[in-house]
Amino acid sequence: MMLSEAYQRSSQLTPTQAVIAVDTRSAPVLGGLGAVQIASGPTLRNPLQADADNTLLWRFTPRRLEAEEIRDALLAVSGKLDPSYTGGRALMRLKNRDYVFNHTSKDGTDYDTFRRTVYLPVIRNNLYDVLQLFDATDATVSSGDRPTTTVSTQALFWMNSNLLQDNASVIATNLLSATSLDDAGRVRELIATAYGRPATEVEVKRYSQAVREFDTAYQASEPDRAKRQHKAWTVVCQIVLAANEFVFIK
Amino acid sequence: MNPFAQPLSRRRAMQESALGFGFLALADLLAGEAHAAGKVDPLAPKPPHFPARAKRVIFLFMKGGPSHVDLFDPKPELDKYDGKPFPGEKPRVQFAATGALLKSPWKFKQYGQCGQPVSELFPHMAQHVDDLCMIHSLHGTNPAHGGALLKFHTGSDNFVRPSMGAWVAYGLGTENRDLPAFITICPTLAHGGVNNWGSAFLPAATQGVPIGNAAIPVDKAKVRYISPLYPTNVQQRQLELLAAANRDHLQATGHDAMLEGRIDSFELAFRMQRTLPAVEDISRETPETQALYGLDNPTTAPFGRQCLLARRFAEAGVRFVQVTHSDTAVQWDQHGNLKRDHEKNAREVDKPIAGLLADLKRRGLLQDTLVIWGGEFGRTPVAQGKDGRDHNPEGFTVWLAGGGVKPGFRYGATDDFGYFAVQDKVHIHDFHATMLHLLGLDHERLTFRHAGRDFRLTDVAGNVVKGIMA
């Protein structure tokens, strides 16, 4: 049901556009779609008011990407993702039968690859911290469900991690290499790549302006104009990647 | 759009309420309830089950197995029967073959009003015995480091379970929203590694945030992603633009606790980015305080820095701070070279721990901070070679201080040779139950539903040791 296009589309509506109404007075407490009626008659109400928590599933509840999806999505939009199949020893740069880890805290862990996250090695003593940060449960526990938490250490990752900056930097390079585009065109390209939809005029204005601001901010520290442009675009690309729209599906 | 047509969200309340900050308290309260339901922030502060004696924990973990019969639990019989075979039956499961009884190479003296004997290895700690509550009868099950570390840290040596710090973070949340609830300073990556500070099936935010590890010098150890990538003015503007984008997105999506929570999390992270390095900046301490922890001496400086950091985190409201004394080679695991290496270890930790106790006390923090000292097991009274002892989970010493425990008190005892706990035995499950009790948590009620049933730190065991409580 949650995958149905019509159902997802209903969640795209702004509250004022809502055409689906919920009558909570007559709805069973744990009602599903049965309690949702296509708008008609006197029961028409603002669904956000009637059922803000969406317990009656009148819209698709925004879902945060899972840990693996986050990494894959970042690599995908920068074009770095290596989609090839199969795992094998190519992912572990160790000698055959060599210890990744031993009791003296020797550390041969290596997560430095562009392969899809599903192929990353699982080193039980040194799990990939990005996955841990985004609620991948301990790799040695079987788990039927993962919680989805929102904590500030995750925000630190979006602000300060190399994974974010590196991907933002690659996208910036890609955008700047399209010499036929002006800044507005680049913003449109960026939003289309990251969010899969056309940019709004607000966004075009906001980010074109931001690029100029950051360019000015780096005026003193970066005399080379091309490098400065790249820095400014990297900062902007990172905003787009760190935003809720990139991290949540609705 | 009529704003009253929407249910009140915290963000809207802040933007629109005429009551401004007076309203914030209520909004926070409401948000706290949403958090308690595990929806957004599992670290929101939560009240204990009953009045707590301790608000926070500093756990001083001596990795490898410090020898209780050489440190806090003297056995005159060992002097008498040195070189003779152990007269009783050795444990059925042993880590390695052992020989005859071995007397302690160190002298003991009684200290303080309570007369607690302490070996000459700990001259500084000995000055604080009137604040310590010795449990001489701790016992576990696993004679190998990996299993014993996991048992001590998670209550289970055979399954992956949440660590005790994660349980405490889950039970009480954090007092300081700018900081993690559970910090572990230079933990060992070996013998269970991350599982010893992991959250297993608890919300991931309850896991310990490691600062470095045992292989990294403490002055180089840092929290991941804490250093800004950009100059402050650039980052600030970046976050403003991010917030604007997120607000537009929220407007189009409608009220959603996760989306709003994530907007808040960036504000918190920006503050954490400033708070954490400030808390970690020990140069703000007076030279007198630094010297108290032994920072003026290269031998004691590394562990002293860890202890001073622990105090600063505890003071700043971190719920559970673990400090591990370990390195990549020696640790407290003297199968051989007992004399040389126990002396080395003792010299490194004695002054810093004494300094920590003194500092906590003079700042009034000791009364509601539970300090725990111990290793994953003790060592055998019987020898390996001529100058070593084997692992011994059958009976060993852990001490507590502050946080509502009886000061200058001894609880339980091992046998005449220090091999087995025999009197008022305290199993590791009992120890966990007692620690939670001191924090105001009932170990039978602190549960988490996973895979179809409720789980506890103490599994289906654990008795609260009332006898040690003040």
pLDDT in tens, B219-249: 888 788 989 999 999 999 999 999 999 999 9
Tokens 């809207």 correspond to what residue? B12
Q: How far apart are CA A182 and CA B48, in angstroms?
A: 59
Note whether B18 and B98 are same-domain residues.
Answer: no
Residue B290 lies in a domain: yes
Phi, psi (deg, nearest 5) at residue B61: -100, 120
Residue B429 lies in a domain: yes
Note whether B292 and B348 are same-domain residues.
Answer: yes
Kindly tell me if the per-residue pLDDT of B374 is higher than 50. Answer: yes
Note whether B121 and B162 are same-domain residues.
Answer: yes
Residue B2 lies in a domain: no
**Three-class DSSP category at A41:** helix
Stretch among B260-264, B363-367, B380-384 having the lowest mean pLDDT:
B260-264
More reliable by pLDDT, B329 or A233: A233
Note whether B21 and B125 are same-domain residues.
Answer: no
Kindly tell me if the per-residue pLDDT of B461 is higher than 70. Answer: yes
Q: What pLDDT, on a 0 to 100 scale, did the predictor assign at position B462?
A: 97
Residues of A in contact with B145 (CB under 8 A): 103
Partner residue facing A244 (CB), from B225, B246, B257 = B246
CB neighbourhood size of B148 (10 A): 24
Residue B253 lies in a domain: no
User: Quick one: which of B124, B81, B84, B74 has its CA closest to B104?
Assistant: B74
- Please check whether residue B225 touches A, CB under 8 A: yes
Mean pLDDT computed over A223-227: 96
Q: Which residues numbered 126-185 in A keep a CB inside 8 Å of some CB on B?
A: 126-127, 129, 132-138, 140-144, 147-161, 165
Note whether B31 and B164 are same-domain residues.
Answer: no
More reliable by pLDDT, B23 or B210: B210
- Please check whether residue B12 touches A, CB under 8 A: no
Q: How far apart are CA A120 and CA A136, in angstroms?
A: 13
Note whether B25 and B131 are same-domain residues.
Answer: no
Mean pLDDT computed over B336-350: 96
Residue B263 lies in a domain: no
Phi, psi (deg, nearest 5) at residue B128: -110, 15
Kindly tell me if the per-residue pLDDT of B453 is higher than 70. Answer: yes
Interface test with B, best of A122, A244, A249 (most B CBs within 10 A): A244
Q: How far apart are CA A155 and CA B265, in angstroms?
A: 6
Note whether B392 and B364 are same-domain residues.
Answer: yes
Structure tokens at A185: 């065109």
Kindly tell me if the per-residue pLDDT of B385 is higher than 70. Answer: yes
Note whether B20 and B128 are same-domain residues.
Answer: no
Cα–Cα separations (whole angstroms), residue B211 to A86, A132, A242, B182, B323: 35, 15, 25, 11, 10
Note whether B21 and B110 are same-domain residues.
Answer: no
Q: What pLDDT, on a 0 to 100 scale, did the predictor assign at position A85?
A: 85
**How many distinct structural domains can be found in chain B?**
2
Q: At what angle do helices A162-177 and A67-78 cross, to 10 degrees?
A: 30
Report yes or no: B416 and B408 within 8 Å, Cβ to Cβ: no
**Three-class DSSP category at B221:** coil
Note whether B195 and B297 are same-domain residues.
Answer: yes
Partner residue facing A150 (CB), from B193, B262, B450 = B262
Note whether B440 and B416 are same-domain residues.
Answer: yes
**Three-class DSSP category at B144:** coil
Phi, psi (deg, nearest 5) at residue B275: -65, -45
Bridge partner list, B184: B210, B322
Q: What pLDDT, on a 0 to 100 scale, did the predictor assign at position A24?
A: 39
Length reported for chain B: 470
The beta-strand segments (E) located in B277-429 are: 320-325, 369-374, 378-383, 389-392, 396-402, 409-411, 413-414, 421-423, 426-427
Structure tokens at B53: 């004696």
Q: At what angle do helices B257-280 and B232-253 cross, to 10 degrees?
A: 160
Note whether B132 and B33 are same-domain residues.
Answer: no
Residue B279 lies in a domain: no
Mean pLDDT computed over B165-175: 94
Q: DSSP character for B127?
A: G
Kindly tell me if the per-residue pLDDT of A248 is higher than 70. Answer: yes
Mean confidence (pLDDT) of chain B = 89
Q: Which residues numbered 250-309 in B keep a CB inside 8 Å of some CB on A?
A: 250-259, 261-263, 265-266, 268-270, 272-273
More reliable by pLDDT, A15 or A49: A49
List the domain range (segments joined by +) for residue B91.
43-225+286-468
- Sorting pLDDT into bands at 50, 70 and 90, what band is B195? confident
More reliable by pLDDT, B103 or B97: B103
Phi, psi (deg, nearest 5) at residue B228: -60, 145
Q: What are the extents of the domains in chain A?
A: 5-50, 161-249
